[in-house]
Structure 1
Amino acid sequence: MNLPSSLKKTAETNADKTAYIFMDQLVTYKELDTAVSKFADGLKKLGLKKGDHMALLLGNSPQFIIALYGAMRAGVTTIPVNPIYTPEEIRYILDNGDVKAVVALDLFVPYVDKIDALLPKVEHYIICETDPAKVGKYAHPKLKSFSQILAESSPFVEEVPLSEEDTAVILYTSGTTGKPKGAMLTHKNLYSNASDIGSYLKMSADDRVITALPMFHVFCLSVAVNAPLISGATLLILPKFSPKEVFRVAKQYKATIFAGVPTMYNYLFQYEGGDPKDFATLRLCISGGASMPVALLKNFEKKFNVLISEGYGLSEASPVTCFNPLDRPRKPGSIGANIVHVENKVVDELGNEVPVGEVGELVVRGPNVMKGYYKMPEETAAAIRNGWLHTGDMARMDEDGYFYIVDRKKDMVIVGGFNVYPREVEEVLYDHPDVVEAAAVGIPDPNQGEVVKVYVVSKNKNLTEQALLDYCKERLAKYKVPKEIEFLDELPKNTTGKILRRSLKEQLQKQSARP
C-alpha cells in the first residue's frame, strides 16, 4: 500500500465523505481523488516519467495536495520548497534536485525569465492562478496553467507500478551549516509513518484536523495531511496560521485535532480573543518541531481543557519517532515513547547505549528512516550508521521508556568544562509570569570559554535584566545562570514558528566583528 492507493481506496468506499474544507468550500474524497488522477495524467502528457523530479513552491492549498498525490500516482518524485525562500535558495534546491517541473503560485511568474536562464533542466512551470481571469494567458513557452491541466486531462489514468523503495519525496533540510541536504523519503517511509501516526493517535473518519502548519514542512505533511487522509478524516485547511482563524474554524467545523509547534500554542494562549468554548470539541492537540516549555504546556491545557501530546521527529525519519501515548500517563517535558514499528535509543560517542537517565545522542531506526541524502553518499554514511539514524539531538530516557530532549548537540554551551543545555535555562525563564519567549545561546568568555546569554520577549516593559538574573540565580546552578539578558520585541523564527537560535548566534558574530 502507498499514499495514492490509500486515497483511491477511501474514494471508492466513502466517496461522499468530506476530504477537506478550504476557504469554507467542501470537497469530497471522490472529488479529490478525481483531481489527483487528472493531475497525474497531465504530468504524463507533459512528458514527465517515473523517477523525474517536480518541485512544489506552494503554501497551504488544495493544489498542494492534488499536485503531491498526483505526482506520486504518476511515479514522479516531489520536492516541497518553502515559497518564501530567497531566489538563490530556491535556485540551489531546483538545480541540486534535478527538477524538471515546478508548481507555483502566479506570484512566481515575474521571476521565471530571470530564474529560467539559470535552470536549464526545468522544462515546465505549472502556475496555480489566484485570479481566474488570468488562467492560461502566458507568453513564456514553459508556463502552463494548473487549472487547464486539470480541465484537459482524464481521471482514468493508467496506474504506474510503484515499488515501496521508490523515492516519493525529497525534503531539503535547512541544516545548521553548509548547503541544505535532500532527504530521500520512499513510498514505504511516508506510508508507514502516516499509518503509524494515525494508529497511535487513534485517528478516524470522525476526526476533523486543523491543518495550519505549512504543508511543505514534514511535520504538517505527515501528521496533518497524510495521517488524516489515510484515516478518512477531514482536513480543515488554513492558508496560513492565524489565531483568530484557528478559533473560528475550530468552532464552526467542530475540530477534533490541532497540530502545531510551541510558538503557535504560545500565540493561541496569548490571543485575547481566544475563547475556551471554541475548543470544546478538540480531543487532542499535537506539538512538535521544537521542545515545548513545560509551563506553557500546563497553562495551555488548564485554560483550554485539552490534552497536548508532545512528540518528536525529523525530516530524515518521515518524521515522527516518538509521541506521548494516549493510553498511558503523559509526562510533561517528555517527547513520549516509541511509536509502533519505530525504535529509539540513547548512545554515547562510540554508539553504545547509555544507562537509563544518562544523556547521549538520540538515534532511531524503523521503516520510516530515509534511504539517504540525494547525491550525498558521504553525508548519508555519516548519518546512518549500522542501521541507526543519528539525529544530532541530545536526550535521555527514563525507566518507563519515555525520552526527553535535552538539546541540540550543536547548541550545547560548555561553561568552564560544565555542559549547559539551553533548554534547561529557557524552561526556568518560561516559568516567569512576565516572560513570553526566551532563547539561550553560548557566547565566548575569556575566563570560562563560554557563558550563557539569553534573549527574552516580555509582556512587562518594566521588567529589568537584574530582576530576571536574580530570578535565575534562585533556580539555577551558578554556572548555568545567564551572564547577559537582552530584551527583544520578538525572536527570529522559521516558517513553522520554531525559534532560530542560529540567527541569534549569527547576529552576535556580526556584532563582535564590528570594529
Structure 2
Amino acid sequence: MEKIWLNNYDPRVPADIDPDRYSSIVDIFEQSIEKYSANVSYINMGKSITFAELDTLSRDFAAYLQNSGLKKGDAVAIMMPNLIQYPVALFGILRAGMTVVNVNPLYTPRELQHQLTDSNAKAIIIVENFACTLSEVIKDTALDIVLLTSLGDMLNPLKKVVTNLVIKHVKKMIPAYNLPHAIKFLKALKQGHSQSYQRPEVTGEDLAFLQYTGGTTGLSKGAMLTHRNIVANLEQTSTILENIVETGKELVVTALPLYHIFALQGNCLTFVKFGCPNLLITNPRDMPGFVAEMAKYPFTVITGVNTLFNGLLNTPGFADLDFSRLKFALGGGAAVQRPVAERWQKTTGLVLLEGYGLTECCPTVTVNPPQLEAYKGSIGMPVPSTDIKLVDEEGNEVPLGEPGEMLVKGPQVMKGYLNRPDATAEMIVDGWLATGDIAICDEDGYFYIVDRKKDMILVSGFNVFPNEIEEVAAMHDDIVEAAAIGVPHEVSGEIVKLVVVRKHENLSEKDVIEHCRIHLTGYKIPKKVEFTDELPKSNVGKILRRELRDK
C-alpha cells in the first residue's frame, strides 16, 4: 500500500534507515562504552555499574567463553530475571561472537528441555533459584558448561553476603539441585580476566539471538534474529526517539524481563546505544517495593505492558512520585486499555504511548510518535523502512479503512525459524511476514488492531498458544480431549480457560489445574476449567475454538 503515514512523520524522522550502518550489535556496544565510559549503565538493588565496568566484565566473560572450548556461533543460554549479571552475560556472549538464547526462568523442565535441545545450547548462565529445573533435564541436553549465579552476586561485598544468605537460609528460595560440574559465574569472570580475548569478525548475517516464541504445534519456535535484524530495528526506533531522548542523560525503568524481546530491544539495547542507565527491577510483582525503588531515582522513561501500568496506578504511593522528569511511557506486548491510558495521563500528565511488534520483527513494527497529545487507541505508524499491507483471505489488498490481515516487510523481519523451514515458509512469503493480526489503517496512516491471531491467548503481554495447553491436557489419562481459549480478565488482559471432555465425572477442575501446573509455566496454566460432553468441530474434525469463545 502507499506509505501515506510518511505525510504525518515528524520532519526530523527519515523515511528510511541504513540497516548496514553498523556491522553488528558489537559495533554499537563498543562505540557506547568508548563514548559513555564514565556514565552509569545499569542499576539494580542499589548497585550501579558504569559503561567502563560493563566493558571490563563483559570482556572477561567473552574471554572465558572463548577459552572454554566454545566457538563462534555457538548458542549460549541466559536464564535469569533482571539482574546486573544479565547485561554482563548478554554482551559477553555477543562479544565472543556467539548466539544468545533467552530463557524464561519460570519454565518447567519440559519447556526448558525443549528450548535447550532445539537451540543446541552449549552453555547456560542460570540463577541458583532455578537450578533445580535444569538439574532435572541436563542429561538430555548438549550443555557442556553450566554457570551458576546468586541474586546478590554483583552487589557490594557486605550486601552480597547478606543478600545471598537471606535468600538461601532465611527465605529458603533455592530448592535443592544436583549440578556437580557447575561453575560459579563470578569464578568464570575472574578466570576470564586473566585470559586473552580475540574480537571475532561478526557480520550482519551472523545470528545474534535465538528468541523463542509460542508455536502452533504446541512447541515454541526459535526466531533467528541476525545482527542486521537487530541493528536495523535499533536504527528504526532510534531515529524516532533521538528527537526526545538526550544521550547520556535519561534513566529508563526496566521492569519487564530482559529475556522478553520488548525489554531486550526497547530498554537494554536501545539505551545502551543512547548511553543511558537502565534501572533493573528484579521483582516487579512486588508493586510496593517497585514503587519504593522508583522513588529513589529521577526516572525519565518507563516501558511496560497494560497490566504493569494498571498495577502501578493501583499501588499506594505511585501517584505521589515525582513525574516532572518523565518524558514518555511506552506500552506494548498487549493492547493498552483506554481506561488505563486515560488514568495514566491524569496521574502522570503524559500520554501513554502504544506500539506494536512481534518477536519475529525484533520486535518493533509500528509506534506512536512521542509528540502524541492524547491516547487514540492506535498502535501508531510504521517505523522507517517498513512496508505494511492489509489483505483479505485471498491475499488481495483491502481498501483504505477496511480490515485486513497485516503483512509486514522490512529489514527487521527475522531470518526464519530455527530447524523449521515449513513454519518459516508459512510465515514469510516473498519477504512479507504474515502477522495473523487483523488491522485497519486510517487516512492519516495510523493503524488499529481490530482482532488478533484467531486462537492466540495474550496473558500479561505473553503469547500463549492453545495447542500447547491442549497437548499437556491430553497427557492426563482421564481427559478425552480439550480446547484452550482466552477469556477477558481485568488484571492480566486474558486468562486461559480449558474446556474439557473427561472420561470420568470424578475428574475435578482442581485435578486438571494441578496436572497442568506440573508441565506449564505459571501464566500458561488454565485458571478456569469447564467440562462438556463434546467440543464443537468442523466437518474435518478441527476443534472450533471460536464457537467456544463466542459462547
Match of 1:9 among 31, 38, 45: 31
Letter of the 2:316 counterpart: E
Deviation of 1:308 after TM superposition, in Å, equals: 1.2
In structure 2, C-alpha distance between the alignment counterparts of 1:87 and 1:325, rounded to whole Å: 42
Letter of the 1:511 counterpart: F
2:398 aligned with 1:358:
no
Check the 8 A contact 1:51/1:76 in 2, yes or no. yes
Letter of the 2:49 counterpart: V
The corresponding residue for 2:96 is 74
Check the 8 A contact 1:184/1:371 in 2, yes or no. yes
In structure 1, C-alpha distance between the alignment counterparts of 2:216 and 2:424, rounded to whole Å: 16
Check the 8 A contact 1:214/1:240 in 2, yes or no. no
Match of 2:236 among 196, 200, 206: 196
User: Residues 454, 225 of structure 1: CA spacing in aligned structure 2 closer, same or farther, 3 A cutoff?
Assistant: closer
Check the 8 A contact 2:132/2:178 in 1, yes or no. no
2:387 aligned with 1:367:
no
Letter of the 1:192 counterpart: A
Letter of the 1:59 counterpart: P
What whole-Å deviation, never above 9, does each CA across 1:420-458 have from its counterpart, x for those lacking one?
xx99xxxxxxxxxxxxxxxxx9xxxxxxxxxx9965559
Q: What SS is found at the alignment partner of 2:419?
A: coil
The corresponding residue for 1:419 is none
Q: What SS is found at the alignment partner of 2:53?
A: helix
The corresponding residue for 2:250 is 207
Check the 8 A contact 1:185/1:316 in 2, yes or no. yes
Match of 1:142 among 181, 188, 206: 181
Higher relative contact order (CA 8 A, sep 6+): 2
Normalising to structure 2: TM-score of the pair? 0.73
Q: What SS is found at the alignment partner of 1:99?
A: coil
In structure 2, C-alpha distance between the alignment counterparts of 1:253 and 1:156, rounded to whole Å: 38
The corresponding residue for 2:470 is none
Check the 8 A contact 1:195/1:230 in 2, yes or no. no
In structure 1, C-alpha distance between the alignment counterparts of 2:418 and 2:220, rounded to whole Å: 11
Check the 8 A contact 1:214/1:220 in 2, yes or no. yes
User: Residues 403, 73 of structure 1: CA spacing in aligned structure 2 closer, same or farther, 3 A cutoff?
Assistant: same
Check the 8 A contact 2:319/2:347 in 1, yes or no. no
Match of 1:511 among 531, 537, 546: 531
Match of 2:70 among 43, 48, 68: 48
2:145 aligned with 1:124:
yes
Match of 1:234 among 266, 277, 283: 277
Check the 8 A contact 2:63/2:192 in 1, yes or no. yes
In structure 1, C-alpha distance between the alignment counterparts of 2:319 and 2:532, rounded to whole Å: 46
Q: How does 1:35-434 map to 2 (within 5 A)?
A: 35-119=57-141, 121-130=142-151, 140=179, 142-154=181-193, 157-175=197-215, 177-202=217-242, 203=245, 204-241=247-284, 242-327=286-371, 332-411=376-455
Deviation of 1:13 after TM superposition, in Å, equals: 2.1
Normalising to structure 1: TM-score of the pair? 0.78
Check the 8 A contact 2:59/2:95 in 1, yes or no. yes
The corresponding residue for 2:463 is none
Check the 8 A contact 1:11/1:29 in 2, yes or no. yes
Deviation of 1:255 after TM superposition, in Å, equals: 0.3
Letter of the 1:8 counterpart: E
Q: What SS is found at the alignment partner of 1:153?
A: helix
The percentage of counterpart residues that share the same residue type is 34
Letter of the 2:147 counterpart: I
Letter of the 2:272 counterpart: L
In structure 1, C-alpha distance between the alignment counterparts of 2:341 and 2:179, rounded to whole Å: 51
In structure 2, C-alpha distance between the alignment counterparts of 1:279 and 1:333, rounded to whole Å: 23
Check the 8 A contact 2:351/2:372 in 1, yes or no. no
Check the 8 A contact 2:79/2:127 in 1, yes or no. yes
The corresponding residue for 1:462 is none
Equivalenced residue count is 435
In structure 2, C-alpha distance between the alignment counterparts of 1:363 and 1:161, rounded to whole Å: 34
Deviation of 1:189 after TM superposition, in Å, equals: 1.1
User: Residues 109, 254 of structure 1: CA spacing in aligned structure 2 closer, same or farther, 3 A cutoff?
Assistant: same
Deviation of 1:44 after TM superposition, in Å, equals: 0.8
Deviation of 1:218 after TM superposition, in Å, equals: 0.2
User: Residues 201, 79 of structure 1: CA spacing in aligned structure 2 closer, same or farther, 3 A cutoff?
Assistant: same
In structure 2, C-alpha distance between the alignment counterparts of 1:271 and 1:175, rounded to whole Å: 35
User: Residues 85, 20 of structure 1: CA spacing in aligned structure 2 closer, same or farther, 3 A cutoff?
Assistant: same
In structure 2, C-alpha distance between the alignment counterparts of 1:342 and 1:258, rounded to whole Å: 25
Q: What SS is found at the alignment partner of 2:336?
A: coil
Check the 8 A contact 1:57/1:104 in 2, yes or no. yes
What whole-Å deviation, never above 9, does each CA across 1:43-71 have from its counterpart, x for those lacking one?
01111101111111111111111111111
In structure 2, C-alpha distance between the alignment counterparts of 1:168 and 1:65, rounded to whole Å: 14
Q: What SS is found at the alignment partner of 1:358?
A: coil
Check the 8 A contact 2:252/2:277 in 1, yes or no. yes
Q: Unaligned stretches of 5+ in structure 2?
A: 1-21, 154-160, 166-176, 459-465, 467-484, 492-521, 536-551
Q: What SS is found at the alignment partner of 1:205?
A: coil
Deviation of 1:282 after TM superposition, in Å, equals: 1.0
Deviation of 1:131 after TM superposition, in Å, equals: 6.5
